[in-house]
Chain A
Amino acid sequence: METLLAHLLTVLILLPVLGSLVIAYLPGTRPRLIWRAALVVSMAELLVSLALIQFQPVGGAASLQLTERCDWIPAWGIQYLVGVDGFSIYLILLTTLLTPIVLLASQRSIRSHIKAFTICFLVLETGIVGSLSSLDLFLFYLFWEIMLLPMFLIIGVWGGPSRIYAAVKFILYTMIGSLLMLVAILYLAHRHWTLSQPQVWTFNVLELYNTPLEPTEQLWLFAAFALAFAIKVPLFPFHTWLPDAHTEAPTGGSVILAAVLLKLGGYGFLRFALPLFPAAAAAFAPLLMLLGVTGILYGALVSWKQEDMKRLVAFSSVSHLGFAMLGIASATVAGIQGAMFVMLAHGLSTGGLFLLVGMLYERRHTRMMEDYGGLMAVVPNMSWVLRLLTFASVGLPGLCGFVGEFLVLLGASQNEGWGRPAAVVAAFGMIVSALYMLHMFGRVMHGEVVHQENRTLADMDLYEFGYLSPVLILVFVLGLFPGWILPRVGTAAERVVECVGTARRYRLEAMDSHGNFVYSMPVRLYESVPDLRQGGER
């Protein structure tokens, strides 16, 4: 037990991929066995990940916890270095919670290549958990790319009619961003090598936080990182891969994509782009806020005019994550807390919506709203669940959506720069979000049943309600007891805010002076992590 806790993150990273290795050797002729095995692995992962909850928030430089380190490619200073704080814990938990749910939900609809399907999801889980816990940039990049492949396959193999187009678009679009990020990572490591005395290679982000970088360098590097993350978020106008990917992916893929993968973008800003290049982050903040706010309104308005339910939900993601982006760019504690909360709440409500749309699709094999209508009389339970998720999504206070939106607006209004006008405009997104969600609910559920096929639609059964219920319960729990999450996010956010704030002050001073200056963090952001192999004590 002790060792398990000491190596919790390693266990979490390796468990799914090892599980998928086992599944690979199971006979393909026994689908039930494969489903069970995948479920057991993901449930075990969920149980182990629950141990993350017990860690209390620690402020200051020691806020990264459960760290593990050992050399990997010593010549290049590449390490296996992992650790978590308030930013990553909840996203990891969201991932481990949703993976078994998604496997349960897919069991009925996926009929082909079951073995490959489950392996994809387990490898994806490893990639996500790895990305969320890596503190070494090289390791992070590795996991970041690992995530792409299973998702590419999930869309391309089990997706809808134009799945190939969507899958290729997804992978190319994301790759372009991440390759630029790779270049930036290499440049950063090289820069650290030239500046350090004696010269050492490292990809350890905790060391790189302190690398003194000139403002112009920062701008370019930030731009490269930000592009990769902005595509992932997706930030307007880099969002157009998302509706296609969402629409074509099978239900499970859509859920994981919306609920978790997109969040890696926001997480990347918080963990890497902002603290690594704080001066550039401060300079880019107005642009990011502008794009975030544009995304909120734009996503909502475009969503309103969609005919396809999955596309509607996909564009609603653009809108919701615009809120997250606004909070992050405001670089205030409340804003970042709000952004994290928006991401978690969106994971639940949108994940739930995709599951529900998936259930409808299984029954009627269409996602077009015009093919439904009047379902409330036919499937009352489903309509209740959809109603709850609708309310959660529009940010009704008391449910999960509101807390994040409010904190983002609060954080933005505390931002000295463009935050206040941004908050005012963003607030109007609350109206349009109600508009498109109620519009969808009305078109699907209200009125008379017009299509004969819909009269005999089966309501949600216990199995479906069973796997959806954790999401539904959490929608309430997060809305009513955000105090369970906010403090830990807050301590992590304070580090970032301090970092960007210092840089912003520094930048303002530097603008008055002449000549070159070299920016470096006046304080050490995080404690360094001792190497496990050298018997370091934590």
Chain B
Amino acid sequence: MNVFVSNDLWLIPLIPFVVGFAIGLFGRYVQQFWSGFAACLAMLASLVYSIKAVFLLASTPADVVHVKQHVWTWMTSGGLTIDFSLVVDQLTAVMILIVTGVGFLIHYYSLGYMEHDHDSPRFFCQLNLFAGFMLLLVMASNLLVMFVGWEGVGACSYLLIGFYFKESEKAAAGQKAFLVNRIGDVFFVLGVLLLLYGLAQAGLAPTLEFAQIKAGAGALEDQRLALSWGTAAGAGSPLVEPTSVGLVTMVCLLLFVGATGKSAQIPLFVWLPDAMAGPTPVSALIHAATMVTAGVYMVCRLHFLFVMSPTAMAVIAWVGALTALMAGVIGLAQRDIKRVLAYSTISQLGYMFLAAGVGAFAAAIFHLLTHAFFKALLFLGAGSVIHGLKGEQDIFKMGGLRTKLPVTHLTFVVGALAIAGVPPLAGFFSKDLILYHAYSSRLGSPGLYLIALITAVLTAFYMFRMVTLVFWGESRVDRAVKKHIHESPPSMTITLMFLAVLSAMAGFLNLPKILKGSEWFDTVLHPVFARVHVLGAPDHRLEGVLMLVSILVAVIGVTMTTLFYLSPRKDEALEELEVTWVYRAIYRKFAIDELYALIVVCPLSAFSRFLKDAFDGALIDRTLVNGPPRLLKIAGRFLSEFQSGDVQRYLLLLTLGMAAIVVYLIKTL
């Protein structure tokens, strides 16, 4: 295992960090333009260094696993040393190119989007810090440095969702995002601790370096963990308790809960729809293209652990599939343009987890890549619409924008076609690959395939419902807004065009063999995922059949939806639909937020209030702590009655006492 050392890697996350802090400190004191300019420049520099690192990786001999830079030793404790070191292998290479490339485009777009906001330095500062943390997350050479990025992006996401802090609901959405993410993060930490425990049990040196865990992963295979308060029974012990579970399975599940927080999967997806409160470029960068994919990245990064546990893999695949389906269904009925896209993101992330869960890690990353392009495009397109309509987000108050916003319209349709899986756009290839693996992998099943296929139909439906309602048909825009509709400034439209080209073309990076392609993207990632052997042997006939089904589904979905929403009778049909309970349930998002409030938030809040008022205040403080002194005080006051200095009272007491003695003597005598 060879490692190539580079001393430039740290610049990739460092530049956005430094520039971000600089903007935060000094941005308010210079002209507004310079903040955005510096932020863009930082991303560009980071992109250049990323490309340089990727070329360096490409030029190294085949036996080099990654390019590495040890920056400093973060902490040592006992035998555990945690280095602040960065690596670039093929997987990281893909990720840093996405983060810096798409990141740069979105920064550039934001120049236009934020030009009227005098708070833009704060925005660019946080956006740059986010990029730095995200780069740290994907470049980390060990779990704990990854966790720095992991929590850092969460914090930046919190800051940016609550960017419009004057509106309390928006700020609260940021807090919700942070807290829900934190729940996931705790499980991540527990997973890390359990992994360290497992390594110790297996007699290995404690380490959190990915490369070393990978090397030692085999020894963890037989470790079991008793699900009682005892110690775990060792491997091969005759006393393996019936309630024990594979240690690797447990580690994987804990880490996966962490991933469900960051990547908005069941059960922790509830923060992402609310996260749309942030400025639209934030939704595009953080809540579509990069941060939310961190969970997928983490699972792929640790694929060598996950493939050891079929249970964990099955959980991931099914959670992914069900999330994809559920979010797709909810997306059908939303009215807010950004919420539709948010649920669509959750749904697409579900696809990625489905792919990872059946062992098709390269397919998951490929979908991550294409999704970054077309979802960023769709969000930025939506941003352009919102910008043009002075903040209107209800798709039922749009319509007919095709002529008013020509560039936005064209690029948006490209994005929608891509996500709906219409060939030959990017989404078709990546989604088709996932569908194929969901069916053919040894971990896959027809059930998973079917769910994924249904979700594909739903995707086509909700996307073209949105396209039709926003851009086609007749205008339903409020009259006051109508006069001011304008196409966005060039910095926004150029970005849209760029992303549209990428969304259209990216699929060809991984042209399947049956279409005379070379599956180049798979080949690139092959060194990383080489040891995964759960995918079945390639079956070109099956692949061809499934591909035809996908095409059919996408094309039919797109046409039917468009025809329905363009037809003059759609209003009546919708009115009929809207009164059904199914529609209402979907529109209310199955009331999951309310359910969580009922079973988690409210009881916890009531319990805390009880602790504060009754337990801490009344019991501990007033009774146990202040009680004895009060008793002493009462006793003292009582006794001091006898020492009042009042002679008459003394005499009275004396007489009473004497009388008592006399009575006593008489009785006993």
Residues of A within 8 A of B (CB): 169, 172-173, 237, 240-241, 298, 301-302, 304-306, 332-334, 337-338, 374, 376-377, 380, 384, 387, 391, 396-398, 402-403, 406-407, 409-411, 413-414, 416, 418, 420-421, 423-424, 427-428, 430-431, 434-435, 438-439, 442, 445-448, 480-483, 486-487, 490
Contact B196 A431 (CB under 8 A): no
CA distance in complex: A446, B176 (Å): 14
Which of these binds chain A: B74-82, B331-339, B573-581?
Answer: B74-82
Cα–Cα, bound, A486→B74 (Å): 10
Nearest-Cβ distance from residue B191 to partner chain A, whole angstroms: 10
Q: A413-B193, A483-B75, A486-B76 are in contact. List 18 more A-B contacts (CB 8 A).
A: A302-B612, A305-B611, A333-B77, A333-B78, A334-B77, A397-B152, A413-B194, A420-B197, A427-B186, A434-B179, A435-B179, A442-B168, A446-B168, A446-B172, A447-B166, A487-B76, A490-B77, A490-B78
Q: How far is the CB of A301 from chain B (nearest CB, A)?
A: 4
CB under 8 Å from chain A, chain B span 605-623: 605, 607-609, 611-612, 616, 620-621
Q: State the main secondary structure of chain B at its contact with A.
A: helix
Least distance between B129 CB and chain A CB atoms (Å): 11
Would you give 9 A-B contacts (Cβ < 8 Å), ordered by A? A237-B620, A305-B605, A407-B77, A410-B80, A421-B229, A427-B190, A435-B179, A446-B172, A486-B75
Are B155 and A240 neighbours in the complex by a CB distance under 8 Å?
no
Partner of A446, one of B74, B162, B612, B621: B162
B326 within 8 A of A: no
Using A397-B144, A434-B179, A446-B171 as known contacts, say yes or no to A240 and B608 having CB atoms under 8 A apart: no
Q: A302-B611, A396-B151 are in contact. Are A430 and B189 (CB under 8 A)?
A: yes
On whether the beta carbons of A374 and B186 are closer than 8 Å, the reply is no
B166, B197, B200, B604: the one contacting A374 at CB < 8 Å is B166
Minimum C-beta distance from B486 to chain A (A): 29
Docked complex Cα distance between A486 and B77 (Å): 7
In the complex, per-residue mask of B156-169: 1 if CB is within 8 Å of any chain A CB, else 0 = 00110010011110
Q: Say whether B76 contacts A430, CB under 8 Å.
A: no
Instruction: Indicate if B245 sits at the interface (CB-CB under 8 A).
Output: no
Contact B165 A376 (CB under 8 A): yes
Q: A389 vs B620: C-alpha distance in the bound complex, in angstroms?
A: 30
For B175, the chain A residues whose CB sits under 8 A away are 438-439, 442
Question: CA of A245 to CA of B624 in the docked complex: distance in angstroms?
Answer: 18
- A447 touching B165 in the complex, CB below 8 Å, given contacts A413-B196, A423-B193: yes
Instruction: Tell me what chain A mostly uses at the interface: helix, strand, loop, or mixed.
Output: helix
A435 proximity list for chain B (CB < 8 A): 179
A396 to B178, CA, bound (A): 11
B28 at the interface (CB under 8 A from A): yes
Which of under 10, 10 to 19, 20 to 34, or 35 or more describes the interface residues of B?
Answer: 35 or more
CB distance from A94 to the nearest CB of B (A): 19
7 tightest A-B contacts by CB? Answer: A446-B171, A301-B608, A240-B621, A397-B148, A447-B168, A305-B612, A334-B77
Residue-wise, chain B 18-37 has the 8 Å CB interface mask toward A (1 for contact) of: 00000010001000000000
A431 touches B183 (CB 8 A): yes
Query: Are B76 and A409 interface neighbours, CB within 8 A?
Result: no
A386 to B74 alpha-carbon distance, docked (Å): 26
Indicate if the CB atoms of A442 and B172 lie closer than 8 Å.
Answer: yes
Bound Cα distance from A480 to B200, whole angstroms: 26
Question: Contact at B74–A431, with CB atoms within 8 Å?
Answer: no
Q: Which residues of A contact B144 (CB under 8 A)?
A: 397, 406
B182 on the A face (CB < 8 A): yes
Chain B residue contacts of A409, Cβ below 8 A: 189, 193
Contact B189 A431 (CB under 8 A): no
Docked complex Cα distance between A430 and B229 (Å): 22
Contact of A427 with B189 in the complex, beta carbons under 8 Å = yes
Give the Cβ gap from A530 to chain B, nearest Cβ, in Å.
Answer: 33
Which of A241, A402, A483 makes the CB contact (< 8 A) with B73? A483
Compute how far the CA of A526 lies from the CA of B241 in the bound complex, rounded to whole angstroms.
Answer: 45
Docked complex Cα distance between A74 and B605 (Å): 59
How far apart are the CA atoms of A431 and B28 in the complex, in Å?
33
**B607 near A301: Cβ-Cβ < 8 Å:** yes
B147 at the interface (CB under 8 A from A): yes
Chain B positions within 8 Å of A407 at CB level: 75, 77
